Chain A
Amino acid sequence: MATVLRERTRRPVAADPKRRPRNGRRRVRPNYLAGIGGFVWLGVIIIPIYYIVITSIGRQSDFYTGNPLLPSSNPTLDSYRAVLDNDFLLYLGNSVVVTVASVVVTVGVSLMAAYAIVRSRARMVRLTFSLFLLGLAIPLQATIIPLYYMIGQAHLYDTLLALILPSIAFAIPITVLILVNFIRDIPAELFESMRVDGASHWRLFISLVVPLSRPAITTVTLYNALNVWNGFLFPLVLTQSADKRVLPLSLWTFQGQFSINVPAILAAVVLSTLPIFVLYVLGRRQLVAGLTAGFGK
Chain B
Amino acid sequence: MSRVKTESGAGASLRTGPSSWMVAPALAFFLIFAIVPLILAAVLSFTKWDGINPPAWTGLGNWTRTLSDPVTFQSLGLSFKVIIVSWLVQTPLSLLVGVFTAGRQRYRAVLAALYFLPLILSSAAIGIAFKALLDPNFGLSKAFGIPALAQDWLGNPQLVFYVVIFVIAWQFVPFHSLLYQAGTRQIPTSFYEAAELDGASRMQQFFHITLPQLRYTIVTSSTLMVVGSLTYFDVVYILTQGGPGYSTRLLPLDMYLTGFASSDMGDASVLAMLLVVIGLLLALGLTKLTGFSRMTSQQEGS
Residues in chain A within 8 A of chain B (CB atoms): 2, 5-6, 9-10, 13, 21-23, 26-27, 31, 34, 37-39, 41-42, 44-46, 48-49, 51-52, 55, 63-64, 67-70, 105, 108-110, 112-113, 115-122, 124-126, 128-150, 165-166, 168-170, 172-173, 176, 181, 184, 188, 192, 195-196, 201, 204-205, 226, 229-233, 237, 247-249, 251-252, 255, 262, 265-266, 269, 272-273, 276-277, 279-280, 284, 288, 291-292, 295-297
**Interface majority SS on B: helix, strand, loop or mixed?**
helix
B170 touches A145 (CB 8 A): no
Q: Which of B36, B233, B298 contacts A141 (CB 8 A)?
A: B233
B180-206 vs A, CB cutoff 8 Å, 1 = contact: the mask equals 011101101110010011010010000
CB-CB nearest in chain A for B302: A184
Which of the residues B18, B93, B174, B178 comes within 8 Å of A115, measured between beta carbons? B18
Q: In the bound complex, what is the Cα–Cα distance between A265 and B103 (angstroms)?
A: 38
Cα separation A249 to B124 with both chains bound (whole Å) = 7
Q: Are A139 and B231 in contact (CB under 8 A)?
A: yes
Q: Are B178 and A288 in contact (CB under 8 A)?
A: yes
Are the CB atoms of B227 and A137 closer together than 8 Å?
yes
Known A-B contacts A13-B189, A113-B26, A288-B178; A145 and B290 likewise in contact (beta carbons under 8 Å): no
Interface size class of B (residues with CB under 8 A): 35 or more
- Quick one: CB contact mask for B263-300 with A, threshold 8 Å, 1 for yes? 00100110011011001101100110011110110110
Q: Determine the chain A residues whose CB is within 8 A of the CB of B174 once the complex forms.
A: 45
CA A201 to CA B1, docked complex, whole Å: 12
> In this complex, what residue of A is CB-closest to B55?
A149
A5-B188, A68-B139, A188-B302 as given contacts; A112 in contact with B123, CB under 8 Å: no
Query: Shortest 5 CB-CB distances between A and B: which pairs?
Result: A137-B283, A120-B17, A169-B33, A146-B40, A230-B122
Q: Say yes or no for B46: interface residue by CB 8 A criterion.
A: no
Residues in A with CB closer than 8 Å to B182 are 292, 296
Q: How far is the CB of A95 from chain B (nearest CB, A)?
A: 10
